A and B are shown apart, each in its own frame.
Chain A
Amino acid sequence: MKITGQNTIAAPVEKVWESLLDPRVLVATIPGCERLEETGENAYAMTVSAGVAAIRGTYSGACTLSDLVPHESLTMKLQGAGAPGTIDAGVAVRFERAGDTTVLSYDADAVVGGMIGGVGQRMLTSVSRRMAAEFFGNVEKAIAGVLPAAPTADAGRVASAGDRVETRGETPTVFAAPQRSASDDRSFLTGVAVGGALVLAGAIVGGILGRRR
């Protein structure tokens, strides 16, 4: 399945790149993302929980990153699996300056398997695009200071906004999402399109790793 799309964020590319590489922002803005954990050089583990009705569950994902060009592009590989299905994706993400705004385009080639692949397939592409718009909207809000940054971490040290993320310690840094109110959890479609969410989330995790370079 190919998913391509484009979103414009009302902030300059440096600011967008910076924000997208901040895991506290990401955990708070990716629909359904609960946890990000560094597992090694260019490798990350994440948990996304989403779903409504029959297609529901928690996905565990892992991703690796390559081809990092700051403020321009990155490529990531993602594998995720959960009760509702699996995803195996490659995503190319490009950042383009457009005056004071940034045009972010993504080009994903995903194999979506399991129940979501067979039953939810026909909704995935359109819903993924919609979720991308939702996500970038959240990022825009985060940049504007409307959304709170992720407050908690566990296992290792508490990471506060503005800290540089250290990854070489014995204990990995784990970022957890803030509790969301029920009214925020509005996306029926999130459940159906969780594969799409993983694609996006993967792209973003890639961004986090990019920061370390």
Chain B
Amino acid sequence: MTTRMMGAKVARVEDDRFVRGHGRYVDDVAPDALHAAVLRSPHAHARIRSIDVDAVLDLDGVHAVWTYEDLAPLAPAMGEPLPLLIPHPTLTHGRTQYALAKDEVNYVGEAIAFVVADDRYLAEDALDRIVVEYDLLPAVVGIDAARAAERLVHEDVPGNVAARMEQANGDAAAAIAAAPHTLSLDLEIERSACMPLEGRGVAARWDTDNGRLQLWTSTQTSTGVRAAVAAKLGLDLMRVDVITPDVGGGFGVKINHPWPEELLVPLAARLLGRAVKFTEDRREHFISSAHERGQQHHVEVGFDDEGRLLGLDVRFWHDNGAYTPYGLIVPIITSTQLLGPYKPGAYHVQFDSLYTNTVIVTPYRGAGRPQGCFVMERTMDAIAAYLGKDRTEVRSINLIQPDEMPYEHGLTFQDGRELTYDSGDFPTMLTKIKELVGWDEFETFRAEMAAQGRRVGIGLAAYVEGTGVGPYEGAHITVETSGKVKVATGLTTQGQGHQTAFAQIVADELGVPFEDVEITTGDTRRMPYAVGTFASRAAVMSGSAIHLAAKKTKEKALRIAAEALEADVEDLEIVDGVVQVKGSPGSGIGLGTVAVLSNPLRYAFDEASKAATQFNVGDPTKPPVAAGEEPGLEGKDFYSPPRSTFASGMHAVIVETDPLTAEITILKYAVVHDCGHLINPMIVEGQIHGGVAQGVGGALYERMAYDEAGQLQNASFMDFLMPYVTEVPTSIDIDHLETPSPLNPLGIKGAGEAGVIPGSAAFAAAIEDAEGFPITAMPISPSQLFDLRAAHHA
């Protein structure tokens, strides 16, 4: 019997390619391509008085120079604003930018002109010769300025408010008014960004002979880009192929689409009849991709003597940047996922999504959850401090219990479905995290450290994460006559190890050797129906679809083999790629042969096909392909769940703060994680490690240093700090809990974003515990901690 692959620590097979430098990214394709460069606004808010491109027109090696005026004549829809991808009824004042700015720019970095030249050097030199005259307008930078609304980002958007949304379960105000104790908190998280090491990139080739567009892009949604490009360029969908090769990190930013360059590059390729490529540089990524995280929150909470949440009222302000292409996904997630594993008696939340003259905001790994977790967990800690109780006691009393699952919160989640937790065991998780971090022994440790003049603190944070959002994913499996199994799913891969994890699923269900399974993702030629890789959904959605498609493939293989072997389907099994009578090795036929038999042939070209020709196989009295059957050993299926499945976790951290310098050092980091059944624990742990690293960044380092004029002052890796391996805990203690999801056949939940979510909340708690004063804003640097000490001891 073949060893079961699901749940095994299978080493990632793709890493051999990556570590040898054999990855193939967008910039590696089409080496003969012309190169594009984009002129970007140096001003945060300005009217464009004129653009003079005359000095570029006659430059040798320049093939095209476009401004807004040039676009509509090339493709009418290019004169319209970029799509608002996720509309929402409360997004009353949604605005999106144009592919190239029309009349006005609203952030430093907004695209104004586009040049195609022989190489990037020439293209950038050409940009230098374009003269733009601006009338400067006052910039709105930061949430305070947006809320004050003394200046407007968009003239026709009063108060800078793109959307105001409200949700409630029960009467929170009344519950708070009647509560024995109340607290108010103001909590803030700063702006940050995903920072994948590979920036955006797009290459396009127009096949003039066949009238087809082939587009490579570093995206999290090939099908999304395909649809957008077809619509904007006025092409039939069936004439557009979008291929996502290896992607050097996504982390959310690459789910937004189409970026201006994803439209301009194929437009240029079609017009010029040449391959064209755009590769974003680092500074461009800082100022023209997307950011996230910036939010201010006000909490009113009412609770009883035990710390039980009676009423929770949260008002928050979300900085959505200059435009809203991705709708309200981030603040909606904050407003719902803030609840974590807890069940307040009544809950009310209201947010304003505000325009600022800064880079757009779209999801960054965690997508609003780090902010929500920070708000909820800071509230829990404040209640514990107020009541003089252990912080885990207050949490414990508020946890949703396993027998309350599925738990309905009475709210609507980001996918438009009810916020209903499918499963989870939060009390066990709390017990495990306390054990793992040594919660009950900490006071002894603190005393030991204090005796040495050292200052330490401990904190923990819990989260629940809606993963695997719909609407669907699909998979198509083909067994070749060689017995090799080719699997295609439409969503993309940006480091998740899909070749390994998905092959494990296929190997188990289809009974084939793991090595014989090849996975293709993000190629619309192989699977044109797909949504994308975001919201920790790939394993749940495509994993489930692949499982279902493998099941169908297996059923077909058994049907065909049963006839060939003159056996009953029920008596057959597939082991190591051979269909055999159960328990009788040596009696069967290989899946490759089954594939031959599945496809009756007229023409022979090798021994295998000779066996499948019409004079050799089949009942001459029946149609060669039976009614209801299709030729080929293939299986295709789709998975579309009723709602998201909710993963959960708790993190705890012990920090040391230097009494003199306020340097913050991580002494211990512990994670308990529940993403249902694990396909590959090694990959899940890798995801957690990466997430924790990014959480450390979010808590202690990453911020976007905008000045009052909207200039991003730290737009390079010299000044934007990300944790190196030296800043990430040397060991992260991980314990798993496996509470299967009832919503999908494998019982799995997503794991991609989890590690980053509770970072700021856990660090704030630990630093607060070490220092003895409240930490209400993250990230926090040693300088800020130093200043806080001075303020509190003054």
B283 CB, nearest partner CB in chain A, Å: 6
Instruction: Give Cα distance in the complex from A85 to B283, angstroms.
Output: 13
With contacts A1-B707, A113-B709 known, is A119 near B283, CB below 8 A?
yes
Contact assessment for A118 and B707 in the assembled complex, using a CB-CB cutoff below 8 Å? no
Contact assessment for B287 and A111 in the assembled complex, using a CB-CB cutoff below 8 Å? no
Contact assessment for A113 and B719 in the assembled complex, using a CB-CB cutoff below 8 Å? no
B699-730, CB under 8 A of A: which get 1 and which 0?
Answer: 00000000101011111101100000000000
B4-48, CB under 8 A of A: which get 1 and which 0?
Answer: 000000000000000000000000000000000000001100000
- Whether B286 sits at the interface, judged by CB under 8 Å, is yes
Contact assessment for A118 and B43 in the assembled complex, using a CB-CB cutoff below 8 Å? no
Contact assessment for A118 and B287 in the assembled complex, using a CB-CB cutoff below 8 Å? yes
Contact assessment for B42 and A121 in the assembled complex, using a CB-CB cutoff below 8 Å? no
Of A114, A118, A121, A122, chain B has the most CB atoms within 10 Å of the CB of A118
Chain A residues with Cβ below 8 Å from B108 are 113-114, 117-118
- The residue in chain B whose Cβ has the minimal distance to the Cβ of A79 is B136
Contact residue among A83, A113, A119 (Cβ-Cβ distance under 8 Å from B716): A119
A107-119, CB under 8 A of B: which get 1 and which 0?
Answer: 0000111110111
Contact residue among B128, B286, B709 (Cβ-Cβ distance under 8 Å from A57): B128
Instruction: Give Cα distance in the complex from A1 to B719, angstroms.
Output: 16
With contacts A1-B707, A88-B136, A111-B709 known, is A118 near B715, CB below 8 A?
yes
Contact assessment for B711 and A112 in the assembled complex, using a CB-CB cutoff below 8 Å? yes
- Whether B127 sits at the interface, judged by CB under 8 Å, is yes
Instruction: Give Cα distance in the complex from A121 to B713, angstroms.
Output: 6
Contact assessment for B716 and A118 in the assembled complex, using a CB-CB cutoff below 8 Å? yes
Instruction: Give Cα distance in the complex from A104 to B136, angstroms.
Output: 31
Contact residue among A111, A118, A122 (Cβ-Cβ distance under 8 Å from B712): A118
- Whether A138 sits at the interface, judged by CB under 8 Å, is no
Contact assessment for A83 and B128 in the assembled complex, using a CB-CB cutoff below 8 Å? yes
Contact assessment for B719 and A111 in the assembled complex, using a CB-CB cutoff below 8 Å? no
Contact residue among A1, A85, A122 (Cβ-Cβ distance under 8 Å from B42): A85
B535 CB, nearest partner CB in chain A, Å: 31
- Whether A173 sits at the interface, judged by CB under 8 Å, is no
Contact assessment for A118 and B283 in the assembled complex, using a CB-CB cutoff below 8 Å? yes
Chain B residues with Cβ below 8 Å from A200 are none
Contact assessment for B716 and A114 in the assembled complex, using a CB-CB cutoff below 8 Å? no
- Whether A11 sits at the interface, judged by CB under 8 Å, is no
- The residue in chain B whose Cβ has the minimal distance to the Cβ of A110 is B709
Instruction: Give Cα distance in the complex from A88 to B45, angstroms.
Output: 13
A128 CB, nearest partner CB in chain B, Å: 15
Instruction: Give Cα distance in the complex from A82 to B712, angstroms.
Output: 18
Scan residues 106-165 of chain A and give those whose CB is less than 8 A from a CB of chain B. Answer: 111-115, 117-119, 121-122
Interface range on chain B (Cβ under 8 Å from partner)? 10 to 19
- Whether A81 sits at the interface, judged by CB under 8 Å, is yes
Chain B contact residues, majority secondary structure? loop
Contact assessment for A118 and B128 in the assembled complex, using a CB-CB cutoff below 8 Å? no
- Whether A64 sits at the interface, judged by CB under 8 Å, is no
B449 CB, nearest partner CB in chain A, Å: 36
- Whether A190 sits at the interface, judged by CB under 8 Å, is no
A63-82, CB under 8 A of B: which get 1 and which 0?
Answer: 00000000000000000011
- Whether A86 sits at the interface, judged by CB under 8 Å, is yes
- The residue in chain A whose Cβ has the minimal distance to the Cβ of B713 is A121
| Residues of A within 8 A of B (CB-CB), count | 18
Of A85, A88, A121, A122, chain B has the most CB atoms within 10 Å of the CB of A121
B371 CB, nearest partner CB in chain A, Å: 25
Contact residue among A57, A82, A83, A111 (Cβ-Cβ distance under 8 Å from B707): A111
Instruction: Give Cα distance in the complex from A5 to B713, angstroms.
Output: 22
- The residue in chain A whose Cβ has the minimal distance to the Cβ of B43 is A113
- The residue in chain A whose Cβ has the minimal distance to the Cβ of B108 is A113
Of B127, B711, B713, chain A has the most CB atoms within 10 Å of the CB of B711
Contact assessment for A81 and B283 in the assembled complex, using a CB-CB cutoff below 8 Å? no
Contact residue among B283, B707, B709, B718 (Cβ-Cβ distance under 8 Å from A115): B283
Contact assessment for B42 and A114 in the assembled complex, using a CB-CB cutoff below 8 Å? yes
Chain B residues with Cβ below 8 Å from A117 are 42, 108, 711-713, 715
Contact residue among A81, A83, A113, A118 (Cβ-Cβ distance under 8 Å from B714): A118
With contacts A117-B712, A118-B713 known, is A81 near B42, CB below 8 A?
yes
- The residue in chain A whose Cβ has the minimal distance to the Cβ of B719 is A122
Instruction: Give Cα distance in the complex from A62 to B114, angstroms.
Output: 26
Contact assessment for B713 and A113 in the assembled complex, using a CB-CB cutoff below 8 Å? no
Of B43, B713, B714, chain A has the most CB atoms within 10 Å of the CB of B713
Contact assessment for B286 and A118 in the assembled complex, using a CB-CB cutoff below 8 Å? yes
Instruction: Give Cα distance in the complex from A112 to B706, angstroms.
Output: 12
Contact residue among B127, B283, B711, B718 (Cβ-Cβ distance under 8 Å from A113): B711
- The residue in chain A whose Cβ has the minimal distance to the Cβ of B129 is A83
Chain A residues with Cβ below 8 Å from B42 are 81, 85-86, 113-114, 117
Instruction: Give Cα distance in the complex from A97 to B287, angstroms.
Output: 46
Scan residues 124-166 of chain B and give those whose CB is less than 8 A from a CB of chain A. Answer: 127-128, 136
Of A81, A82, A114, chain B has the most CB atoms within 10 Å of the CB of A114
Instruction: Give Cα distance in the complex from A83 to B42, angstroms.
Output: 10
Chain A residues with Cβ below 8 Å from B128 are 57, 82-83
Instruction: Give Cα distance in the complex from A88 to B711, angstroms.
Output: 12
B718 CB, nearest partner CB in chain A, Å: 8
B126 CB, nearest partner CB in chain A, Å: 11
B287 CB, nearest partner CB in chain A, Å: 7
- The residue in chain A whose Cβ has the minimal distance to the Cβ of B124 is A83
- The residue in chain B whose Cβ has the minimal distance to the Cβ of A114 is B42
Chain A residues with Cβ below 8 Å from B715 are 117-119
- The residue in chain B whose Cβ has the minimal distance to the Cβ of A83 is B128
B138 CB, nearest partner CB in chain A, Å: 11
- The residue in chain B whose Cβ has the minimal distance to the Cβ of A85 is B42
A57 CB, nearest partner CB in chain B, Å: 6
Contact assessment for A118 and B711 in the assembled complex, using a CB-CB cutoff below 8 Å? yes
Chain B residues with Cβ below 8 Å from A1 are 707
Scan residues 262-293 of chain B and give those whose CB is less than 8 A from a CB of chain A. Answer: 283, 286-287
- The residue in chain A whose Cβ has the minimal distance to the Cβ of B40 is A114
A116 CB, nearest partner CB in chain B, Å: 9
A33 CB, nearest partner CB in chain B, Å: 19
B101 CB, nearest partner CB in chain A, Å: 15
Instruction: Give Cα distance in the complex from A115 to B108, angstroms.
Output: 10
Scan residues 79-101 of chain A and give those whose CB is less than 8 A from a CB of chain B. Answer: 81-83, 85-86, 88
Instruction: Give Cα distance in the complex from A114 to B40, angstroms.
Output: 8
Scan residues 29-48 of chain A and give those whose CB is less than 8 A from a CB of chain B. Answer: none
Chain B residues with Cβ below 8 Å from A121 are 711, 713-714, 719
Chain A residues with Cβ below 8 Å from B718 are 119, 122
Instruction: Give Cα distance in the complex from A29 to B136, angstroms.
Output: 31
B140 CB, nearest partner CB in chain A, Å: 15
Instruction: Give Cα distance in the complex from A113 to B42, angstroms.
Output: 5
Chain B residues with Cβ below 8 Å from A83 are 127-128
Chain A residues with Cβ below 8 Å from B283 are 115, 118-119
Chain B residues with Cβ below 8 Å from A112 are 711
B132 CB, nearest partner CB in chain A, Å: 8
Instruction: Give Cα distance in the complex from A85 to B42, angstroms.
Output: 7
Chain A residues with Cβ below 8 Å from B287 are 118
A183 CB, nearest partner CB in chain B, Å: 27
- The residue in chain A whose Cβ has the minimal distance to the Cβ of B712 is A118
A126 CB, nearest partner CB in chain B, Å: 15
A43 CB, nearest partner CB in chain B, Å: 15
A123 CB, nearest partner CB in chain B, Å: 10
Instruction: Give Cα distance in the complex from A115 to B283, angstroms.
Output: 8
Shortest Cβ-Cβ A-B pairs, 4 listed: A118-B715, A114-B42, A83-B128, A113-B42
A88-B709, A113-B108, A118-B712 known; 6 other A-B pairs, CB under 8 Å? A81-B42, A117-B108, A117-B711, A117-B712, A118-B716, A119-B716
Q: List 18 A-B contacts (CB under 8 A).
A: A1-B707, A83-B127, A86-B43, A88-B136, A111-B707, A111-B711, A113-B108, A114-B108, A118-B286, A118-B714, A118-B715, A118-B716, A119-B715, A121-B711, A121-B713, A121-B719, A122-B713, A122-B719
Contact surface of A with B, Cβ cutoff 8 Å? 1, 57, 81-83, 85-86, 88, 111-115, 117-119, 121-122
